[in-house]
Each structure stands twice: as C-alpha cells, then as structure tokens.
Amino acid sequence: MKQKKIQTTQISKKNKVLIALSAGIVALLLLFAYVRQSSTVIDYSTYRAMLKNDMIDSAQIGEKYIYLKSGGKVFKIPKDAVNINELYEKIPVGVKENYSRAIDVAVLFFIAGLLIYMLFFSRKREEMPPIKHQINIAAPEIDDFSSKIKPIVSDVKFKDVAGIEEAKEELEEIIEFLKNPGKFKNFGVRMPKGVLLIGPPGVGKTMIAKAVAGEAGVPFFYQSGSSFVQIYVGMGAKRVRELFAKAKQMAPSIIFIDEIDAVGKARGGMRNDEREATLNQLLTEMDGFEDNSGVIVMAATNKIEMLDEALLRPGRFDRRIFVSLPNAKEREAILKVYLNKIPHFVDTKEIAKMTVGFSGAALSSLVNEAALHALRKGKKIVELEDFEEVKDKVLFGKRKVLAYSAREKEIQAVYQAAKAVTAYWFEIDFDKISLLGSGFKDIDKEIVSKHEFIAKIKLFLSGHAAMQVIYNEEFSNSAQDLARAKILAEDMATRYGMGKKLIGDVTDVSFIMESTLEEVKEFISSQIRYIEKIKEHLLENESISKEEIKKIFNEIL
C-alpha cells in the first residue's frame, strides 16, 4: 500500500513537471507570436520609401509577412509584395542570421511541445475506441485560391507597348493618381474606380494594364473572369472578396480582370444564382472603395454589349477606353518593336501596308513565322519574301486573323467613304472614320426627333447603298450596319409611333427601311466624286478625320 502511494506520488510529480514544462513552452510561443503580431501593417509605397531612405534596421521573414524593424518599432508587409533579393542587399547579414536563429529556436520549442503532448496523451488515445469516418458528399473541395493571389511588380513600360497612343493619353491621369493619390484627394477630385478596356482579341489590353502598373510602380493583380466562375455556391463571391482584400493590403495597387464578361454578364434570362452572387460581390467591393482610394480596377472585354448595366454605371467602370486594331503607322511601330532583336533587311512600312486588319498579337506571330521561315531556308537575315511566304499561314492557319485582300480593301474603302460622306452631310457627330471601323455611337439622347432617327438610319444604310450604286452588288460587310438600322426602325415603328400607323408592325419597319434606302441611294449617286476622293485617302492612310473630310469637300467645291 505504501509502495503504491509512493508510485502515485512520483507519477503526480512527473505530471506536474510535464504540465509546467508544457505551460512554459506555450507561454514562450504565445510571447513570440505576440511580438510578431504586435506590429503595424504598412502599404507597398511606405515600404518603398523606407527601403529607399535606409530606414529599415533589420528584417525577419515570416510565413505570410516580412517584419521590418525601424527606430525601435516593428512593421509588417505581406511577403508576396516584396522583392526579397532586393531586401537582402539592404539588411546586414549578421542581423538576418540572428533572426534566423530566433526562428530556429521557436521551431525547436514547438517540436518539443508537440513531443510532450504526444507522450502525455498517447495512453489516453490508445484507450479511445476507433472513430468511424463519415464522408460528406456535399462538401466542396478545399479552395486554395487565396494562396494563388500573388501580385507582380510589372517591368512593362509604355515604351515597350507600341501602337496605343490614344490609350496612353487617357491613362496618364490614372498613373499620376496611383503615384500620388494624395494630390487628387486634397483637391477634392475623385478618380475613376474602374477602367474598362474594350477591343477585339489580340490588341494588347493586358499589356496596356501591365504598362500602367509598370509606369506607376505598383503591385499588379491579374485574374481572368473565368477564375471566379464556380459550381459551388458562394465560392465565386469568396474569391472576389479575397482578391480585393489582398489588393487593399498592398494599396496603391491595380486589379486587372481579363474577360470580365465571363462573370459580368447581364442578369436575367437564363438564371445562374452563383454567377449573380459573384457579380453582386464584385459590385459591392467596387462600391466599398470610398476609403480605399489607392486601388484601381481595370478590366478587359471584347463583348461590352453582354455586360450588366450595373457594372457600367457611373461609380464603377465609369471610364471606358476603346482599343482598336492598329492602323498603318501603329502597325509599323509594332513591327519595329518585334523586329528589334531579329536580324532583318525589310521595310517595316511595306509590311505594315500588307497587314491591314492584323492585331498586335497577329503581327507578333507574323514576325516569328517569318524568322522561322528564314532559318529553315538557311538564311542569316529575314527578308521581305519571308513575310510574303508566311502571311497566308498566319491568315489561314491555326492562328487565323481578319485581313483584307487588295480587292476587299478597295470595297471596304468605298463602303466607309460612303458612310463618311453621309455622316458629314447629315451632321452626325464623329471624330474619325477608319478603314476597319467607325466610332458612331447609338443614339443616347432622352428626346429624339424623327428626323434624327432617319438621319442615323441613312448613315447605317449608306455603305450598303454605295455597294449597289457603284458595284451593282451586295456584300457581307454591311451585316452589322443593317442590324443597327433595323433596330432603329423597329423603335420608330413600335415604340415611338413614327411609322405610317400609330401602333406600327413589321410592315411599318419594312417601309421605313425600304423608303430610306431608296433616298440614300439617290443621295450616294450624287456624291460619287467625294466618295472616290475619300476612298483614296482611306487606302493611303486607313483613317480620315472630320476636318480632313471638310477639306476634301472644300477642294472639290
């Protein structure tokens, strides 16, 4: 009995020692954690200023944050936002080693505590009956999206992106705002929360966003719209929250959402609750920017007509930049960039003329294919004939792009010239008309007269009319304009009572279209001289401004 009591006392003492040791380790770990966490979070611009001015005494690299000691205080910044190699150059090696040892000691303490825990509870765990595992079929897979949200510090500058001069001008303010947000805030100016880049595939929308981040020197978060589209309820909205939270931590910064139409489609019709929840979260995050003015959201799409109206209202994506296919001068500039490191003997102006309709991405492919062709032929330099040989491969091969033959180019020039003459004569506002398209907008006034509707329909029918008058033929390039003219005619007849009857129908729509087309054909027949002159200008320069059209009219008159 006495021996048993002695054994019990010894076990009790051992337990007390183990408990005391465990408590001590826990206390040390808690103290270590407290010291690490009792630090102030700083943004990227503050970190850059501290690093530049040698204000950082030492640094400690943690799992998620880098802890910076400056003047007796500790600051922290997310690890993903910092170039660690650059930091190593500034911090004394001895200080980093001390921090490394501190981390090693902490790890050893943790391992020791874990071993004690396993030893202390091993017998109890052995006595516990086995637990049958249940499978939760409805539970989604673990989402590790947060760990994938890593910003990049872009090294792309505007000088690296050719052919976007108009877009550059509109983005200068955004860059200045990201560099010095206080300047705008103190003046009471609210910069756009969102910038929407609109244009066909391959024109360099992502490169433009990277160039803005590079010029401003801020972190750049890239995500595609499809990365938010999930089958699990609430997962897309969660990803949006995590992305914006990370960007706000590192403000000033840029969020770039490519192909935003994947998540920002207009609501209604074929209902998708998960996508709508994700879109609603995106709208909510953008509305919550009042206190986080250092974040700019940029997005890209080639289907703006599919976007929800709430995304386009003022206060969200309220600045829109149209990035069109490059014209001849822009193509020449792009070609010079791509040919810079390739030995060649070609006239870039000549190649620019033979690549009407090529995007920047298509020109990159063309240069690469020409260089490969030259290598296959055993040449040491790339020549014009190499471009001529591979042009059809780029046009009709795996990477097909839109381009015009000489005949198609002439037809399109006549088509656009007819629209230019009609717009100028009927005083329809525009800046310039190009061979590849025109910048005419839909009617956006609240009160519109019948005369204004008819003038706009004449504009959209003028190219089709010119094809009939000049070529005695119809062509497929009028499809989009005919659709827009039909929409206006339907509005006139069925909504506004501007047809032959007060409540119009299909017959009224057809009458408006047919009668207006006859009027336009008569008008085009009287303007052949002007159309011919503008056609020549378009074939040479690929675009024409309102002032240049006025000059042509004055010369002929």
Tell me: the pLDDT tens digits for 230-242?
545 567 778 888 8
pLDDT at position 312:
79
- Of 149-158, 354-363, 514-523, which gets the smallest average pLDDT? 149-158
d(CA 226, CA 201) in angstroms, rounded, equals 16
Read off the pTM: 0.55
Tell me: the pLDDT tens digits for 451-481?
999 999 999 999 999 999 999 999 998 988 9
Average pLDDT over residues 204-218: 85
348 against 161, higher pLDDT: 348
CATH class of 13-124: alpha beta
The DSSP output letter for 355 is -
- Of 127-141, 177-191, 260-274, 400-414, which gets the smallest average pLDDT? 127-141
In three-state secondary structure terms, 189 is coil
pLDDT at position 467:
95
* Tokens linked to 69: 């000691």
> With the CA atoms of 402, 405, 410 and 415 taken in that order, what torsion angle do they form, in degrees rounded to the nearest 10?
-30
The CATH number given to 328-396 is: 1.10.8.60
d(CA 361, CA 363) in angstroms, rounded, equals 5
Tell me: the pLDDT tens digits for 300-314?
888 887 788 878 777
d(CA 213, CA 352) in angstroms, rounded, equals 29
Protein fold of 150-322: Rossmann fold (3.40.50)
Query: Please, where in the chain does CATH 1.10.8.60 lie?
Result: 328-396
273 against 280, higher pLDDT: 280
Is residue 32 very low, low, confident or very high in pLDDT (cuts 50, 70, 90)?
low
Q: What percent of the chain has pLDDT over 90?
A: 14
The CATH number given to 406-556 is: 1.20.58.760
* Tokens linked to 508: 């009224």
pLDDT at position 315:
75
- Walk across the sheet containing 253-258 and list its strands: 152-153, 219-224, 253-258, 295-301, 194-198, 319-322
Burial call 217-246: b when 16+ CB within 10 Å, e when fewer: ebbbbbbbbebbbbeeeebbbbbbebbbeb
pLDDT at position 392:
66
Query: Please, where in the chain does CATH 3.30.720.210 lie?
Result: 13-124
Query: Please, where in the chain does CATH 1.20.58.760 lie?
Result: 406-556
* Tokens linked to 127: 């006595």
